[in-house]
Amino acid sequence: MERYAFYWQLPGLDKFCPPALPLFKKSPGRFPMSVCPRCQNPYESGARFCPQCGLRLVEAEATGEEKPALSDNLSPSASRRPPTWLWVLIGAGVFLLILIMAVALFTQRQGLRSPGEAPASEAGLPEQLARVLGTLREAQVNKDLSLLMSCYATDFPERSQKIREMANAWQDFDFTAMFFSLEDLQPQGVAGARAKIVWDIQVQDRRTQEFLTATQTFRVEFVKEQGAWRIRSLEEVRAP
């Protein structure tokens, strides 16, 4: 803030006041003072009208502080903030990149898979065929005709005649023990297989109560019907 002091040079006082002394002298102070251009009376800075003559003063408007522009009040971070759609686009790009990497990794693992590695269904094929032979053994021991028929495929050669022969054999013999081994398994696609089956059989003659044992070897062809494995054909292999 500035303060103005006023001096008037009176006649006869030249020896006290230097002639070159300015009319107004600026001195530091709290309230700056200005002079009305009409009546030369001082007024406080910021006044709009002269308190003496009422002249409209434009100094307040001319010297007033300019209001900062709206753009000046904005912080640099707010003015440079990216739009929302840009973040959405970046997120979509990151997601697409992750998806491509996942597909590439899965394809690479599939390519590194060992050629000799069998699928899960093929790896369990021996157990599935052994289950069919176990059902056949159960039907023979318990003389269950319907269970025996379920072990043979619908296109088994002379299927009905085979069932009748087994029913006649049950009248003369009781199957007391049956053991099998599955050898030389050869998958034939997804619904077929071939194998060599060796049976060790013990029967009892119902008339003489005598026990008899025998070993039989068959070449058996299996087929998958309606989700279940069955015997499609068999051929006995004679010992040399």
pLDDT tens digits for range 23-66: 444 444 444 567 787 887 787 777 777 877 877 776 544 444 44
Number of domains observed in the structure of the chain: 2
| Residue 217 burial (CB count, 10 A) | 16
Share in percent of the chain as helix, strand, coil (round to 5): 35, 30, 35
Pair 136, 227 in one domain: yes
From CA 177, how far away is CA 165, in angstroms rounded? 19
Q: Residue 96 falls within a domain, yes or no? A: no
In what helix (H) or strand (E) does residue 86 lie, and over which residues does it extend?
helix 84-111
- Closest by CA to 62, choosing from 42, 52, 48, is 48
Pair 221, 148 in one domain: yes
Range of the domain at 6: 1-66
Q: Residue 132 falls within a domain, yes or no? A: yes
Point out which residues pair with 42 in neighbouring strands: 35
Last residue of a domain, one of 66, 87, 106: 66
Last residue of a domain, one of 66, 82, 117: 66
> Contact at 8 Å (CB) between 164 and 152?
no
pTM of the entire predicted model: 0.49
Burial 170-203 (b: 16+ CB within 10 A, else e): beebbbeebebebeeeeeeeeeebebebebebeb
Q: Residue 193 falls within a domain, yes or no? A: yes
Task: Determine whether 22 is exposed, middle or buried from the number of CB atoms within 10 Å of its CB (0-12, 13-18, 19+).
Answer: exposed
Q: Residue 217 falls within a domain, yes or no? A: yes
Pair 143, 220 in one domain: yes
* pLDDT of 71 strictly over 80: no
Pair 53, 134 in one domain: no
Q: Residue 18 falls within a domain, yes or no? A: yes
Q: Residue 106 falls within a domain, yes or no? A: no
Pair 152, 231 in one domain: yes
* pLDDT of 124 strictly over 80: yes
- Closest by CA to 45, choosing from 29, 58, 32, is 32
Pair 136, 213 in one domain: yes
pLDDT-derived band at 238 (thresholds 50, 70, 90) equals confident
The residues, ordered by sequence, that sit 6+ positions from 23 with a Cβ below 8 Å of its Cβ are: 6, 7, 8, 9
Last residue of a domain, one of 66, 83, 103: 66
Q: Residue 95 falls within a domain, yes or no? A: no
Q: CATH code at 172?
A: 3.10.450.50
